[in-house]
Structure 1
Amino acid sequence: MKKSLLLSCFSLFIFLSSCGDKKNKNTTIKNNENITVYNFNDIEPFLYSTSNKTKIVNFWAMWCAPCVKELPYIQQYVAQNPDVELLLISLDFPETIEKELKPFLKEKKITAKVVMLDDPDANSWINKIDPNWSGAIPFTIISNKNKRLFFERSFDSVEDLENEIQKNF
């Protein structure tokens, strides 16, 4: 039931984001050089690690309470492990970047690299990432060149994330 509700919310988000006037893909939103909007084809290469370095890719949104709760844990883990690379992929609306997303990141002291995925064909790209992914967020990929794991859940603490990485990498 919970998964279905999250998937329904996510599907509604994708539907709504496909309506109306669209911003150009693959360009930095005006007045924000740090948050770039991508479609899936352009973001897909970021989802893989080609080195021994551990890479964390986290799909999240401001409206997702478990996502917001875990962001500081992920960022703290990366700060304590400088050999780990982090990419946060926001699923919020591109038009919210200036008035909502940037202030949110500042307020929450999120300094990790954030990009935005704006691609209405979620049925296609969700399966390309992981056929077992329901589409619910938060969703985290942890990988290196030898291993790639998926977590369709939130991390409850820095220790929770650390334990997953230590036992798998």
Structure 2
Amino acid sequence: MKAYLLITCFFISPFFYAQATETQKSSTATDAIAVYDFKSLEPLLYTETDKVYIVNFWAMWCAPCVKELPIIAEYKKNNPTVELLLVSLDFPENIEKSLKPFLKKKGITAKVVILDDPDANGWIDKINPNWSGSLPFTILFNSKNRSYHERAFVDSKDLENEINKIINQ
């Protein structure tokens, strides 16, 4: 089922991809976007501090993801002590042509990495066995608490409420 959801998303991706990149211009090469396999990404999903981390799995072709990105960016802007990592599931070969221009157009300045690991069924279960594989998917955590959200946050207050649960547990 997980593979089916991801494969379905990839087949509809050209539609969203075309809409997202139609009017974009090239960005500068100074905006490095690292490409990780899951083994390299996994340590970034844990911390030994009380600092709150937001790790959001998304893609340019995912309409709910695109709608949610400004909400997460706004929260980060208003809460600079929170760490934010945006994990794109877009293709690495599209970094320069599409991803960087997309981020620039949307005003997203958070750290972005690409997860390029073909074993989606394996790494999805390692992140959370209850995750179906659909996007967006967000992990909120610190050293003591962790929550998983297989949905888009509707606004900054929605995200803030979930983060407060992590802090106050």
Write the distance in 2 (CA, Å) between the matches of 1:39 and 1:121.
9
Residue among 80, 86, 89 paired with 1:88: 86
Is residue 51 of structure 2 the alignment partner of residue 53 of structure 1? yes
Structure 1 residue matching 2:73: 3-state secondary structure? helix
TM-score by length of 1: 0.83
For 1:72 and 1:105, how far apart are their aligned partners in 2? 11
Structure 1 counterpart SS, 2:125? helix
Aligned residue number for residue 106 of structure 1 = 104
**Structure 1: how far apart are the matches of 2:137 and 2:55?**
8
Equivalent pairs, count: 150
Q: What's the counterpart of residue 77 of structure 1?
A: 75
SS in 2 for 1:58: strand
Residue 11 of structure 1 is matched in structure 2 by 7
Change (3 A) 1:33 1:106: closer
Decide whether the 8 Å contact of 1:14 with 1:122 is kept in 2. Answer: no
CA contact (8 A) 1:34 1:113 kept: no
Q: Distance in 1 between matches of 2:95 and 2:154?
A: 27
**Share of identical aligned residues, percent?**
60
SS at match of 1:136: coil
Equivalent residues in 2 for 1:118-133, closer than 5 Å: 118-133=116-131
Structure 1: which 4+ aligned runs deviate by more than 4 Å?
12-15
Structure having the larger proportion of residues in helix = 2
Alpha-carbon separation, structure 2, partners of 1:88 and 1:76: 14
TM-score (norm 2): 0.83
Matched to 2:4, the amino acid is: S
Structure 1 regions of 5+ residues with no counterpart? 16-30
Q: CA RMSD in A?
A: 1.9
